A and B are shown apart, each in its own frame.
Chain A
Amino acid sequence: MRKILSYILPLFIVGCATTGDVTSFSSAEDTGNLHEKERRLWHEAAGFDATIERSDQIYNNRQATVYLQGVMDRLYPEFKGKIQVRIYDSTELNAFALPNGSIYFNIGLLSRMENEAQLAAVMAHEATHFIEKHSFKQRVSTKNSAAFALSGIPFANLAAASSISGFSQDLEREADAKGYARLVKSGYNPREAHKIFQYLADEVEALGVEEPYFFSSHPQLVDRIDEFKRLSANYKGRGRVGSKSYNRIMTPIRLDTLRKDIGQDRYKSIILVMEDSKKRRYYPAAGYFYLGEAYVRRDEKGDMDKALKAYKKAAKHSPNFAPTYKRLGMYYMKNGDKTKARYNFKLYLSLAPKNARDRAYVQQYMNSL
């Protein structure tokens, strides 16, 4: 798992022990009996939690947070109250666990997953890192020079640095195997598990970039997909998939992720998702608007025509989504079609909230026509 904290936080622990001395948690009660060195690790993790909260990086969606916590509690009822799931306001495809049981899911990753079983697969993996004390084990069993080199990085760089290192392959495999076993035991369909990793592998390849995807680098991601396929090949059950509830809750988050993606110029990611009918089916129709925006940002030959088509689709399938009409109005205004420009601006002004950010611009453009 690609998380810098697993490396940084243990630096505060001095001295060595052997991995064999580290016993995993079996229930929430165990977390009351921490070794002194572990307690310090927890303290640092709590500090990181506080920093995330103070700096406004928690994504506030109570319904989704409660839902995620519910899935975690269903997976690990014996750790209820000790493993806390939060949503991290980042569109990068990532999730990470802190040594104190705080588990963060980025909105980018939540948007890409398709059902509760996929969510549960990642959750079980993350929770295993906490339950098996992987951060602590890694610290006491290795002398990782990279960890020391990274220890001085400021907080602002942590998110980026989190892509640099992960747990050792052995610990990752343990998280895979134990997470998988828990997924099955909790009644989820394990055949969904490999799919989320397949989507991530597709994205890594299509975008041609290295992002802080969880589950380490590309070849390992492929190995992991094969391993999950192998594990679930003999599964005969009819486990829970949970598509309906998951997608109902994630719909507004998906739209928000598209908005934030365009706000960071991550247009490639939007095009990848919205051009693919299989991926797109989980996104609301207003997503076509962001596809149009993504084409405008890419600005290659023919992209303006593609953008116009996407805006028109957004208007057709999501007729009450105001930003589409602002964009159409701007397009027609620039191309000298005042009648259509006025029509679309008028629609925007009638649909957009009174405090909409672009209202003043649209009003001004209307007046100029």
Chain B
Amino acid sequence: MKKVLALITLALLTGGCAQTAYWTLTDDMNRVVQSKSFQMTVPDGWVRTTKADTWERIEIDGEPQTILLESMAVTRDGTSLHAITVTRHYTHTAFPVIKKKSRGNMLPNEVADLYVSELRKRSGLERLKVLSNKPTKVNGKPAFELVMQFKNEDGLRIRIVSYGFVDKTGFYTINYRAPYLYYYKRDYKQFTSVVRSFKQLKGANDPPPEMPAWAKLFT
């Protein structure tokens, strides 16, 4: 029991973990969300995370694993209902569940295919359908724009729009997820403006961080 408490305390003190992320209301003064690798401007009157999550626990081949990343979220009605999330995956863990790395020379449609496989395998949503998959640009880089959809157990259509690209620093995604009924259309324009505002920062070129000691205890 003492060991468990010690590990939890250690994890909390180490910082940067999902549990310590907190939310703030956006207004004219704090609409620019900034992480080490990227920044974007988010809508006024929403709530956003104040700093990036730097790790995530996911199941790979049935085993919980820790992977490092940078991820920020913004929502209007709460993340369980709808959210925009921006994530940078490092090259070695770009598609962690299907165990694929990203390479700078990957074509956008190759990246999109891998990303869909990753989402399906990670969520167990075999029925996740791709409605459209088009080339686009994000921050001036060749990218994909995926529109996906699935129906939950209640028959509610949940739509996911993902913009993504790879470069030598990793795999970046900007996701918008919302029920198609009412919410999706209401905030879609806001989402596209977030995509347009996305910028990579110089910090993206820094080498990926080391896995923290506490994470190694779990992995």
Contacts and interface: CB of A to CB of B under 8 A. Distances in A.
Interface stretch (A125-133, A154-162, A195-203, A275-283): A154-162
Interface stretch (B11-19, B151-159, B177-185, B189-197): B151-159
A71 B134 CA distance: 43
B45 interface: no
B27 interface: no
Contact of B127 (A89, A157, A299): A89
A160 B124 contact: yes
A365 B124 contact: no
A159 B120 CA distance: 14
A329 to B, nearest CB: 10
Interface stretch (A78-86, A114-122, A258-266): A258-266
Nearest to A368: B142
Interface stretch (B33-41, B84-92, B102-110, B163-171): B102-110
Contact of B132 (A51, A91, A159, A357): A357
Contacts of B215: none
Contacts, number: 67
Given A263-B116, A265-B121, A364 B135 contact: yes
B25 to A, nearest CB: 32
Nearest to B132: A357
Contacts of B130: 357
Contact of A56 (B107, B120, B151): B151
Given A156-B153, A264-B117, A358-B133, A55 B124 contact: no
Contact of B117 (A157, A265, A334): A265
Tier of interface size on chain A: 20 to 34
B19 to A, nearest CB: 23
Contact of B134 (A155, A334, A360): A360
A123 B107 CA distance: 45
B77 interface: no
B150 interface: yes
Contact of B135 (A55, A154, A157, A361): A361
Contacts of A297: 98, 100
Interface string A331-369: 000100000000000000000000001101100110000
A301 B108 CA distance: 23
Interface core residue of A154, A262, A299, A360 (most chain B CB under 10 Å)? A360
Contacts of A221: none
Interface string A80-114: 00000000011100000000000000000000000
Given A54-B153, A54-B155, A357-B132, 14 more contacts: A51-B153, A55-B127, A56-B129, A156-B124, A159-B124, A159-B126, A264-B126, A265-B117, A265-B120, A330-B107, A357-B130, A360-B134, A360-B135, A364-B135
